[in-house]
């Protein structure tokens, strides 16, 4: 099979959203430096509009005692590369919601990472079955470049919605833009309808900028 035929086949894979192509290997892509992991001070916090009005945090050991899941999903970067059928293991976002219930009015979350990177999600996207705080990819611990010790994975959204080096989840009573959402990227980020840029947003897709 020639290379162009192979490319044709790949482009016609029904798992590939419009405008995306398959990527061999796993590129490293992020803004800013790779943070150094500090085991003694690392924690993962849940704060903001919790039902108890208290914030909650796990240290590194505590987080690794939480129940884990393994999920398979496809990964789509807005720069147009996709990787299909990734196996992610870690703690389901739904588990965090059970352990630290949000207040009734919570509609969105902001997921925070080292150095202030952030991304906002609807509560529905966050609670979705495939949304996971991943510690492993295809059975291997995450490397530091790919987000060790924990990154979020949100299937069904462009990959910038999944912060690497996650440190906190903020429960919110209203939507607010995260790092890329403030810088010209679409608030909803659905790859199937190519919600790439904020100029494509319709009324109701996100808060005013
Ligand atoms: N903390 C942080 N997380 C991030 C980013 C970033 O700049 N900082 N970039 C996002 C983008 S745009 C993509 S495509 C994926 C890339 O993940 P990878 O480097 O593991 O392929 O990480 C996402 N998570
Ligand atoms: Mo990306």
pLDDT tens digits for range 145-185: 999 999 999 999 999 999 999 999 999 999 999 999 999 99
The pLDDT of residue 7 is 58
Is pLDDT larger for residue 152 or for residue 13?
152
Given a cut of 90, whether residue 109 has pLDDT beyond it is yes
Which two tokens mark 182?
């403030």
Instruction: For 191-207, write each residue's pLDDT tens digit.
Output: 999 999 999 999 999 99
Given a cut of 60, whether residue 6 has pLDDT beyond it is no
Q: How far is the CA of 162 from the centre of ligand 2 (A)?
A: 9
The pLDDT of residue 85 is 97
* pTM given for the model: 0.95
Torsion region of 200: left, alpha or beta (phi above 0 gives left; psi -120 to 50 gives alpha): alpha
- What's the angle, vertex CA 89, arms to CA 117 and CA 194, rounded to 5? 55
The pLDDT of residue 8 is 56
Count other Cβ atoms within 10 Å, centred on residue 180.
21
Residue with tokens 């949304």: 131
Nearest CA to ligand 1 atom 21: 28
| Mean pLDDT, the chain, integer | 95
Q: How far is the CA of 152 from the centre of ligand 1 (A)?
A: 10
For 154-172, give the secondary structure using H, E and C: CCCCCHHHCCCCEEEEEEE
The domain ranges of the chain are 44-200
CATH code of the domain made up of 44-200: 3.90.420.10
Q: How far is the CA of 51 from the centre of ligand 1 (A)?
A: 30
Instruction: For 31-86, write each residue's pLDDT tens digit.
Output: 999 999 999 999 999 999 999 999 999 999 999 999 999 999 999 999 999 999 99
**For residue 79, which atom of ligand 1 is closest to its CA?**
14
Q: Which of 30, 84, 180 to mutate to test the pocket of ligand 1 (most atoms within 8 A of CB)?
A: 30
Q: Which of 164, 165, 183, 189 to mutate to test the pocket of ligand 1 (most atoms within 8 A of CB)?
A: 164
Ligand number nearest CA of 119 is 1
Cα–Cα dist 195/158, whole Å: 9
The pLDDT of residue 12 is 79
């Amino acid at each position: 099979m020639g290379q162009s035929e192979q490319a044709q086949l790949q482009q016609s894979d029904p798992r590939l959203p419009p405008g995306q192509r398959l990527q061999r290997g796993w590129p490293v892509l992020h803004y800013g430096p790779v943070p150094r992991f500090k085991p003694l001070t690392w924690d993962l916090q849940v704060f903001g509009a919790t039902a108890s009005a208290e914030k909650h945090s796990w240290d590194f050991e505590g987080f690794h005692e939480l129940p884990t899941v393994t999920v398979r999903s496809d990964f789509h970067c807005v720069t147009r590369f996709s990787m299909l059928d990734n196996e992610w293991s870690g703690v389901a976002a739904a588990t965090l919601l059970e352990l630290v219930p949000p207040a009734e009015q919570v509609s969105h979350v902001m997921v925070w990472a080292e150095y202030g990177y952030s991304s906002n999600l609807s509560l529905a996207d966050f609670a979705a079955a495939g949304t996971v705080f991943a510690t492993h990819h295809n059975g291997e611990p995450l490397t530091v470049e790919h987000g060790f010790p924990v990154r979020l994975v949100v299937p069904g959204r462009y990959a910038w919605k999944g912060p690497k080096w996650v440190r906190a989840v903020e429960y919110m009573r209203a939507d607010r833009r995260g790092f890329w959402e403030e810088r010209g990227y679409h608030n909803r980020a659905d790859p199937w309808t190519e919600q790439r840029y904020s100029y494509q947003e319709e009324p109701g897709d996100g808060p005013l900028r």
